[in-house]
Structure 1
Amino acid sequence: MAGRSPLPTGHRHIRTGATHGLLHTWQSWGMARTLLTDDLLARIHDRAAHHDAENTFPHEDLADLADAGYLRAFVPEDMGGSGFTLQEVASEQQRLAAAAPATALAVNMHLVVTGLAAALHRTGDATTDFILRDAAAGEVYAFGNSEAGNDWVMFDSRTRAEPDGEGGYRYWGTKIFTSLSPVWTRLATFGRDDSDPENPLLVHGVVTREGTESRGDWDTLGMRATRSESTVLAGAHAPAARVYRRLAPGPNSDPFTFALFTTFEVLLAAVYTGIGARGLELAAQAVQRRTSMRTGASYAVDPDIRWKIADAALLQDSSVLQVRALARDVDEGYPHGARWFAQVVGLKVRAVENARAVVDIAFRVSGGAGYSAGNELSRLYRDVLAGIFHPSDEESAHATVASSILGPLP
């Protein structure tokens, strides 16, 4: 898939004496453009603990991000946005996740929808251009596809899509993990049209809040501020102009599917890589601060502690480089061929598992203070666990990778 190359590399402004000691986490990831200033990230970071404790949505964060133009990051410049590449947005998402993981994961869903639309737009496919125009006008997109017990994920659906007789559809069903539930104004969703039993179709379209209901059932271990409530679709309507794909159930090679999976998996990997970055930084701060009563020396010079910190850094560095490289490959249309899906699902699994391992090491070297519910490291430990529930899970990823090497099962 063609796309313009990233801008020349170079460091953005790097804040000395950064608030909360987040100098390394919030500095440039090697990209030339940014919408997220250090001051903005500091404000978002300061609010994260409150929203986690109170299980509330970070309305102020979303307002600040909208004011910064972040919800228009993927929108082409000639349509009123910044025209960021996937690599640029992935870099920004790592920085945002280091400041507030739940805020980053919530806005990730809006970015996935607008990002896939931008990817199709770059190929000359205008079927989702209305999404980009919506985003430019200030609409907030949610991603309403996940369903309880649906291990086909995007290749089948329990939701009914009923034709309205005019080319549009009404949807009936329940979607889970709908991030941005309190604030979304547009929902990208899909369901199954069985009106022709010989030719069932998966119908992808966009609905408004009319004909939907959020259940208010989000009370979780981590990622609490995402407010990813279940959404009931009770006749929610996508008119013909907002139905952008009708596909047969099962795997397919439609460019929409490629754009969706690459954008979704890369940006998820970016969020969890950002959590790892913050975990590593907190670990370094903790061991530099702690002193052994037995030796009188800083834990930062203890050889066992240094080994653990190095282990964490080795994992973190690999995730940063992999996210950057695969995002660039998507932007530049690198010919991974039949192994594209194996590459992106593998990236997501590795990034999540690396982030979990990094945060676990940070916990081990930081002492008992991290076990306090109000400690930031405790919040990261809970937030990073959410990564195992996002598609693709380990089982699905292993099946995809095995098939890409050994061929499909007979």
Structure 2
Amino acid sequence: MTVRSLLTDDLLARIHARAAGYDRDNAFFTEDLAELTEAGYLAALVPEEFGGAGLSLREVVREQQRLAAAAPATALGVNMHLVWTGVAKAMHERGLDFLDTVLTEAGAGEVFGFAISEAGNDLVLFGSRTEAAPQADGGYAFTGTKIFTSLSPAWTRLSVFGLDTVSEDAPKLVHAFIEREAPGYRILSDWDTLGMRATQSNTTVLEGVVAPAERIFRRLPPGPTADPLVFGIFANFELLLAAVYTGLGARALELGVAAAKRRTSMKNDGKPYSSDPDIRWKVAEAAIAQDSLAPQIESLARDVDDRVDHGAQWFPKLVGAKVRATETARFVVDQAIRVSGGSSYTAGAELSRLYRDVLAGMFHPSDDESAHSTVANAWLGPIA
């Protein structure tokens, strides 16, 4: 298979050169987004008949690893748009057209944001603290607070969902898109975090913002469901997220290797640290861990593309890939810092930024506890 790419080495070099400044200034990756848009990257997963590049998920998880190696926060921010285009692509390929509007609009240049997370909601997709109030014309008014809304300065379409408790068939979780021009919401300027600062994932306060009937794309019962939308979100979110942290880990390993070759030891007659058995062990241990990630992510992405049926094992495979990627990235960064020495502790060091960025991995769904519960239920069945 010929693997296509939209990200040139020159583009990635420019993005990498801006990453430290975005982090230092706690600024959105405006220039990166403009260049990625010009390169057609935001339409990477959009099929050609909808005006996109028509790349497969397998190809895009590779691209996201390369982008994350250059600038993890930029890759993570773009991820949220790619998730929705990936979900829409997966639904379209399975004969479902309820998200074809996403493909049409993304192909025309619209930017999609992802407003799912809520403080204290560990049900994630299976419950919501946000009120979805039905309107006479078939639309819904949403009232609630969404956190970690990446792409806050740039999205033009935002996915929201909330709980309808009053309709005849209630309760129902209502999924919809709102447009940036719609009244009834506020974006707070509260993204002042340890890492992944350029994502500008500000809190979004929904104050009765209305999604019209044509923007309501799914109503589902609360709790786990076999609806294809849930599979589409999990598959694209978990694999694209895993790709970002895998790319981050790859860059950390690269920096650790360079440091081991550059640093010299007075204790060992000026030889480079790459000759020290302890340093060699740390680099090898990191490389062994890192080497296992990309093949698994690519394999699962190919299975999504090819519509392979893993049945009840799909969700354990997906959450396992996410947890393994994020936890391994933390380990690889830690090893790279140990190899690199005290210079990596300075605020301006790239490894220092990667160390802060990689910590965000533990907060993305599925978190460690949820993932282990999913895998345990798949293998052992529910608790009796």
Same fold (TM over 0.5): yes
Match for residue 5 of structure 1?
A: none
- SS of alignment partner, residue 187 of structure 1: strand
Match for residue 353 of structure 1?
A: 327
User: How far does residue 290 in structure 1 lie from its aligned partner after superposition?
Assistant: 0.6
| Native 8 Å contact 1:87 1:331 kept in 2 | yes
Structure 1 residue 319 and structure 2 residue 290: aligned? no
Percent sequence identity is 62
Match for residue 102 of structure 2?
A: 131
- SS of alignment partner, residue 292 of structure 2: helix
| Native 8 Å contact 2:239 2:297 kept in 1 | yes
Structure 1 residue 97 and structure 2 residue 71: aligned? no
- SS of alignment partner, residue 173 of structure 1: strand
User: How far does residue 317 in structure 1 lie from its aligned partner after superposition?
Assistant: 0.6
The code of the aligned residue for 2:255 comes to L
Match for residue 4 of structure 1?
A: none
| Native 8 Å contact 1:116 1:256 kept in 2 | yes
Structure 1 residue 147 and structure 2 residue 80: aligned? no
Structure 1 residue 232 and structure 2 residue 205: aligned? yes
Q: How does 1:242-281 map to 2 (within 5 A)?
A: 242-281=215-254
- Count of aligned positions: 381
| Native 8 Å contact 1:208 1:236 kept in 2 | no
Match for residue 147 of structure 2?
A: 176
Match for residue 362 of structure 1?
A: 336
Q: Output the CA distance in 1 between the equivalents of 2:192 and 2:177.
A: 27
Q: Output the CA distance in 2 between the equivalents of 1:358 and 1:152.
A: 30
In structure 2, which of residues 147, 159, 167 is the aligned counterpart of residue 188 of structure 1? 159
User: How far does residue 334 in structure 1 lie from its aligned partner after superposition?
Assistant: 2.3
Q: Output the CA distance in 1 between the equivalents of 2:115 and 2:309.
A: 30
Match for residue 187 of structure 2?
A: 214
The code of the aligned residue for 1:379 comes to R
Deviation string, structure 1 residues 286-323 (Cα, Å, up to 9, x no partner): 00001111221111111111111110001111111111
Deviation string, structure 1 residues 99-134 (Cα, Å, up to 9, x no partner): 000000000000001110111011111100101111
The code of the aligned residue for 1:262 comes to A
- Which segments of 5 or more consecutive residues in structure 2 lack a partner in the other structure? none
Q: Output the CA distance in 2 between the equivalents of 1:247 and 1:264.
A: 19
Match for residue 59 of structure 1?
A: 30
Q: 1:82 and 1:198, CA in 2 relative to 1: closer, same or farther beyond 3 A?
A: closer
Match for residue 18 of structure 2?
A: 47
The code of the aligned residue for 2:342 comes to G
User: How far does residue 198 in structure 1 lie from its aligned partner after superposition?
Assistant: 6.1
| Native 8 Å contact 1:348 1:392 kept in 2 | yes
Match for residue 43 of structure 2?
A: 72
Q: Output the CA distance in 1 between the equivalents of 2:170 and 2:50.
A: 37
| Native 8 Å contact 2:134 2:167 kept in 1 | no
| Native 8 Å contact 1:75 1:132 kept in 2 | yes
| Native 8 Å contact 2:69 2:251 kept in 1 | yes
Q: Output the CA distance in 1 between the equivalents of 2:169 and 2:140.
A: 19
Match for residue 381 of structure 1?
A: 355
| Native 8 Å contact 2:330 2:359 kept in 1 | yes
Structure 1 residue 344 and structure 2 residue 318: aligned? yes
Output the aligned Cα RMSD. 0.9
Match for residue 23 of structure 1?
A: none
Q: Output the CA distance in 1 between the equivalents of 2:43 and 2:169.
A: 41
Q: Output the CA distance in 1 between the equivalents of 2:346 and 2:244.
A: 24
User: How far does residue 197 in structure 1 lie from its aligned partner after superposition?
Assistant: 7.1
| Native 8 Å contact 1:280 1:358 kept in 2 | yes
Q: Output the CA distance in 1 between the equivalents of 2:191 and 2:338.
A: 30
User: How far does residue 207 in structure 1 lie from its aligned partner after superposition?
Assistant: 0.3
Match for residue 17 of structure 1?
A: none
| Native 8 Å contact 2:43 2:52 kept in 1 | yes
User: How far does residue 409 in structure 1 lie from its aligned partner after superposition?
Assistant: 2.0
Q: Output the CA distance in 1 between the equivalents of 2:241 and 2:362.
A: 11
Q: Output the CA distance in 2 between the equivalents of 1:43 and 1:381.
A: 22
Match for residue 113 of structure 1?
A: 84
Q: What is the TM-score of this pair, normalised by structure 2? A: 0.98
Q: What is the TM-score of this pair, normalised by structure 1? A: 0.92
Q: Output the CA distance in 1 between the equivalents of 2:140 and 2:48.
A: 32
Structure 1 runs of 4+ with >2 Å offset = 196-199
User: How far does residue 407 in structure 1 lie from its aligned partner after superposition?
Assistant: 0.9
User: How far does residue 199 in structure 1 lie from its aligned partner after superposition?
Assistant: 2.4
Q: Output the CA distance in 1 between the equivalents of 2:283 and 2:117.
A: 37
| Native 8 Å contact 2:286 2:335 kept in 1 | yes
In structure 1, which of residues 309, 316, 321 is the aligned counterpart of residue 283 of structure 2? 309
| Native 8 Å contact 2:36 2:42 kept in 1 | yes
User: How far does residue 330 in structure 1 lie from its aligned partner after superposition?
Assistant: 1.3
The code of the aligned residue for 2:272 comes to S
Q: Output the CA distance in 1 between the equivalents of 2:169 and 2:257.
A: 61
Deviation string, structure 1 residues 193-225 (Cα, Å, up to 9, x no partner): 011376210000100122221111000000000
User: How far does residue 59 in structure 1 lie from its aligned partner after superposition?
Assistant: 0.4
- SS of alignment partner, residue 315 of structure 1: helix
| Native 8 Å contact 2:128 2:163 kept in 1 | yes
The code of the aligned residue for 1:159 comes to T
